[in-house]
């Protein structure tokens, strides 16, 4: 007789908990993806072909870039078929997996769900660009003097915020275990 398949960390969640998670994830997706897509649209309209715009004594620069690679252009020199396979198909699968994990994993707290939602939202924002344009629209650059970041966008900020929040939650959970432990 076959036994039901159980995966570690996944069990049946009460519908009320699943509903609250879904609301948190969907609200995060709505606001982050909406903000990302609107700012990218403005960047394409106002910054493409324009001079770099500088603010706060050159601390913030608005500089239009089309990124066909990954983080900071990594993989930009790969052949187009590889870039599509990795940055469109592969990232889409990864985003879907993170979404499902955030929705159904039993052992996640609110902070971890929010963190994963930010990562998913940023991924969705960039994947929309990849599927519709073939590249991600980047336009933000921060720095002081010669020390500058790469050019990035709002989706990248959401992804990095989610990653830092995941690390912070993990660190906080570990220190809590040591104190009680």
* Active-site entry in 36, 76, 129, 156: 156
* Active-site entry in 46, 76, 107, 138: 138
Pairing assessment for the beta strands 136-144 and 60-67 based on DSSP bridges: antiparallel
Between 154-180 and 15-46, two packed helices, what is the crossing angle to 10 degrees?
140
Residues 86 and 70: beta-carbon distance below 8 Å? yes
107 is a catalytic site residue? no
Quote the tokens at residue 162: 């989610």
Measured distance CA(170)–CA(180) in Å, rounded: 16
DSSP annotation of 152 reads B
Which residues participate in catalysis according to the annotation? 138, 156
């Amino acid at each position: 007789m076959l036994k039901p398949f159980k995966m570690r960390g996944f069990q049946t969640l009460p519908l009320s908990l699943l509903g609250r998670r879904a609301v948190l994830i969907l609200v995060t997706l709505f606001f982050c993806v909406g903000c990302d897509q609107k700012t990218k649209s403005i960047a394409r309209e106002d910054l493409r072909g324009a001079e770099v715009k500088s603010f706060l004594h050159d601390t913030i620069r608005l500089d239009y870039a089309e990124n066909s690679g990954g983080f900071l252009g990594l993989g930009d020199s790969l052949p187009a078929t590889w870039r599509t396979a990795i940055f469109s198909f592969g990232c889409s699968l990864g985003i879907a997996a993170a979404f499902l994990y955030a929705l159904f994993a039993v052992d996640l707290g609110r902070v971890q769900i929010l963190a994963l939602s930010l990562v998913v939202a940023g991924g969705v924002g960039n994947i929309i660009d990849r599927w519709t344009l073939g590249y991600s629209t980047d336009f933000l650059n921060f720095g002081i003097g010669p020390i500058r970041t790469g050019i990035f966008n709002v989706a990248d900020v959401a992804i990095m915020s989610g990653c830092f929040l995941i690390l912070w939650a993990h660190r906080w959970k570990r220190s809590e275990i040591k104190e009680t432990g």
